Amino acid sequence: MKKKFDTVYQFKITLRDIKPPIWRRIRVPASYSFWDLHVAIQDSMGWTDSHLHEFQIKNPKTGRKINIGLPDEDFGRRVSEGWKKNIADFFSMQNPKAEYTYDFGDDWRHDIVLEEILPRQKDIDYPLCIDGARACPPEDCGGSHGYEDFLEIIIDPDHEEHESVLEWVGGEFHPEHFDCTAVIFDDPAERLENLDADF
């Protein structure tokens, strides 16, 4: 049996309520915390990590769901700190699924599925994005329904909001484009050091 640090976890992350689906496939070290996984998801999807987030997963010891992420008293429920929980203590091939929510305003919900546990290759830097499809929606566009409206506006040059929305998104947006080789992963430890909980 391989030790935890000799393996990597392959996850598929799929954004809910959008068709065709927006998804990513990533590999991360089994030694990762939920905070580390959060940073890898943010970077692979294309989010900017400017809002609260939370994982919900079944605790294999109790059989009950647990919330892991950034604790926030405003939401009135217990949330365990992600940097104190290791993914290997929760994810397994018998317990492969979790829900990941980013930005409780836009309410971007993702299905997280552990697909494989693989040997770690010495010549590869992890995390690694190996596949995916479609561009990440822009931040603060109003969730899945707002994204639908956004797409309708930017593909219609005659729409009265076309120019202003296109300018807001940076001048161009290609919803079908995704290049996994262009994904750059930040150091989760550095991100944690710079964490500002007052979004």
**Domain for residue 147, yes or no?**
no
Q: What CATH code is carried by the domain that includes residue 100? A: 3.10.290.30
Q: What is the pLDDT of residue 197?
A: 47
**Domain for residue 156, yes or no?**
no
**Domain for residue 120, yes or no?**
yes
Question: Tens of pLDDT along 32-69?
Answer: 999 999 999 999 999 999 999 999 999 999 999 999 99
Question: Tens of pLDDT along 145-168?
Answer: 999 999 999 999 999 999 999 999
Please say if the pLDDT value at position 198 is more than 70: no
Check: CB of residue 112 under 8 Å from CB of residue 55. Answer: yes
**Domain for residue 12, yes or no?**
yes
Please tell me the pTM assigned to this model.
0.93
What is the number of domains present in the chain? 1
**Domain for residue 116, yes or no?**
yes
Start-to-end C-alpha separation, the chain: 43
Cα angle 74-108-113, degrees, rounded to a multiple of 5 = 110
**Domain for residue 113, yes or no?**
yes
The residue segments making up the domain with residue 101 are 4-134+178-193
**Domain for residue 72, yes or no?**
yes
In this structure, the number of other CB atoms found within 10 A of the CB of residue 137 comes to: 26
Burial label for 85, CB within 10 Å (0-12, 13-18, 19+), is: buried
Residue 93, token pair as written in the block: 């091939």
Q: What is the pLDDT of residue 72?
A: 77
**Domain for residue 146, yes or no?**
no
